Structure 1
Amino acid sequence: MSRAPIYFVRHGETDWNAEGRLQGQRDTPLNAKGRGQAVEAGERLRGLVGTGVGDLPYLASPMERTRHTMEGLRAALGLDPAGYATDPRLREIGFGAWEGLTWKDVRRHDPARSQARDRDRWGFCPPGEGAESYAMVAERVRPLLDALDRPTVIVAHGGVARAVMVTLGAAGPEEAPHLEILQGRILVLEAGARRWV
């Protein structure tokens, strides 16, 4: 089945991003840099799509950092900031008991599980309530992706971007967990390929 392109935007920076903390399901606000990245993403999207940018469907994770990114992006395009839908299937991967920690903290306090994750980043599920593997996130987003029948703008998270790339054949499960997911940029996913704008 041929899929329409997806214009994927990772939320703008938060203080926890800047500190290297695992956010997961924690709701953290954008910082000043993140608000600027939302505007940048809107400008990039306009350059990519052109005059039809207002005709696209816009979907976001319901988390604060993604909603505020979407609203900043849409405002930069001259669109109604609230003119988008949210979908809980786009929420970030759950890091369970590791949320709020840095990777350095995880390696120090939970070395055995940290090493297990290093051996299988795609399939590893951290300890604690709400924790997920990338494979679980891919299963969560697959029905949403299967229902998309036209070019769509999605604002979500780094973990979701990795799951979406694998689901759409734009990266393999061995590669995706290691890819850098940029903020303030557009990840174009089309015909099993990916590119950054």
Structure 2
Amino acid sequence: MLYLIRHGETDWNREGRLQGRRDIPLNPTGRRQAAESARRLADVVPPATLASVAFVASPLVRARETMELLRATLGLTPEGYAVDARLAELSFGRWEGLTWPEIRAADPARAAARDRSTWTHTPPGGESYVDLAERLERWCETLSGDAVVVSHGGVTRALLVLFGSMSASEACRFNVPQNRVCVVGEGWAEWR
């Protein structure tokens, strides 16, 4: 089973800016959300079982900070987790740092193309969800047991599609919460 957790809020999340691969730290709300995610995880995974579960995070600071706060809240060593670059967020390329209204004003044709085909569209200098899913599929092949994964909204969407719990079109419209745990098995997902 996978226990998917999206990083806590950043100032860019609050402003509606696309972060992608930019390294933006958590804000105070995000730090509280990380602790809330830990409490929700403790309700799903018995504390005695946590020692046998792998913990892995995206290399981006907002995910690592969330993981460390989550582990500390659970009474675990904050730095006792793996980092995997394949869990980094979807790259939005030259759109990173912009809001959707800014993108629609500056690049209306590409923004409209993405609206028509979000899963397959590649932003300028970025990657598509198809690219992200291929990267994550290679990561999934390395799984050998249950894992707590702290990553990003795009990564969560792609994993939900890969595990068959959501269609690509549903995933593209899904707003991934930042203080919840998504328990994922083959063909199903449950938010806690």
Task: Compute the TM-score of the two structures, normalised by the length of structure 2.
Answer: 0.98
Matched, 1:189 2:189: no
94-103 vs 183-192, which moves further = 183-192
2:167 aligned partner = 172
1:139 aligned partner = 134
133-142 vs 46-55, which moves further = 46-55
Please give the per-residue CA displacement for 1:74-118, whole angstroms capped at 9, x wherever unaligned: 000000000000000000000001000000101111111011001
Q: What is the count of residue pairs matched by the alignment?
A: 191
Matched, 1:45 2:41: yes
Matched, 1:9 2:5: yes
Secondary structure of 2:141's aligned partner: helix
The whole-number CA distance in structure 2 between the counterparts of 1:47 and 1:93 is 30
Secondary structure of 1:175's aligned partner: helix
The list of structure 1 runs, each at least 4 consecutive aligned residues, that deviate by more than 3 angstroms after superposition, is: none
Letter in 1 for 2:10: T
Matched, 1:57 2:21: no
2:85 aligned partner = 88
1:22 aligned partner = 18
Q: Let me know the Cα RMSD of the aligned residues.
A: 0.8
Matched, 1:76 2:69: no
Structure 2: 5+ residue runs without aligned partners? none
Letter in 1 for 2:170: E
Secondary structure of 1:184's aligned partner: coil
Matched, 1:155 2:150: yes
Structure 1: 5+ residue runs without aligned partners? none
The whole-number CA distance in structure 1 between the counterparts of 2:189 and 2:119 is 19
The whole-number CA distance in structure 2 between the counterparts of 1:191 and 1:132 is 26
2:115 aligned partner = 118
Task: Compute the TM-score of the two structures, normalised by the length of structure 1.
Answer: 0.95
